[in-house]
């Protein structure tokens, strides 16, 4: 569980920071975060190096495909409700898309997969919302707390629904 928490904090924080430094476009943040998060989570699930690399590919695909509606709907939420609302909505959509993609690899009944998607959606929304809060300018405290909560929520769910799988 500690490895899973660390993987999510590092994956989201480093990925989003690298993405925001991307000179091509702001939208690259989600794609870079998807790759970084997928790699960190893969490490947490398979610390010895043997792994199913499909996790990385699906996490990336979920982030890349989820980025389009997250950007569009998040932009609309920004116009209607402000930056905090936009970050919450965009984070939820991005998290849900990542969870939906990852659920393809989870060996579980459909309700377990649905819970995985839901946990990622809620965790993504919380992470996005906390990231938008200006707790201390220049320091990613909101992102660190949000990504830790994301990791805790998804990790607890993993232990509940997939106890026979490798522990996060």
Neighbours of 81 (CB within 10 A): 12
pLDDT of residue 159: 83
- Other residues' Cβ atoms within 10 Å of the Cβ of residue 140: 19
Its pTM stands at 0.84
Mean pLDDT of the chain: 82
Task: State pLDDT tens for residues 25-63.
Answer: 555 666 788 888 999 998 888 766 556 788 889 999 998
pLDDT, one tens digit per residue, over 54-106 is 888 999 999 888 888 887 888 888 888 888 888 889 889 999 999 999 999 88
Closest by CA to 124, choosing from 72, 79, 83, 87, is 87
Distances (CA, A) of 142 to 41, 62, 112, 119: 20, 23, 29, 19
pLDDT tier at 121 (50, 70, 90 boundaries)? Answer: very high
């Amino acid at each position: 569980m500690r490895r899973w928490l660390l993987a999510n904090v590092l994956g989201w924080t480093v990925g989003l920071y690298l993405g925001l430094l991307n000179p091509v476009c702001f939208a690259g943040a989600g794609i870079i975060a998807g790759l970084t998060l997928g790699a960190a989570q893969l490490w947490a699930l398979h610390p010895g190096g043997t792994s199913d690399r499909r996790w990385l590919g699906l996490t990336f695909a979920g982030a890349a495909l989820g980025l389009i509606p997250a950007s569009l709907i998040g932009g609309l939420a920004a116009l209607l409700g402000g930056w905090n609302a936009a970050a919450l909505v965009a984070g939820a959509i991005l998290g849900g898309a990542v969870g939906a993609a990852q659920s393809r690899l989870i060996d579980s009944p459909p309700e377990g997969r649905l819970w995985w998607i839901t946990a990622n959606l809620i965790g993504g929304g919380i992470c996005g919302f906390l990231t938008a809060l200006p707790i201390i300018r220049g320091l990613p405290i909101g992102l660190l707390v949000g990504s830790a909560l994301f990791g805790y929520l998804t990790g607890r769910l993993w232990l509940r629904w997939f106890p026979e799988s490798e522990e996060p």
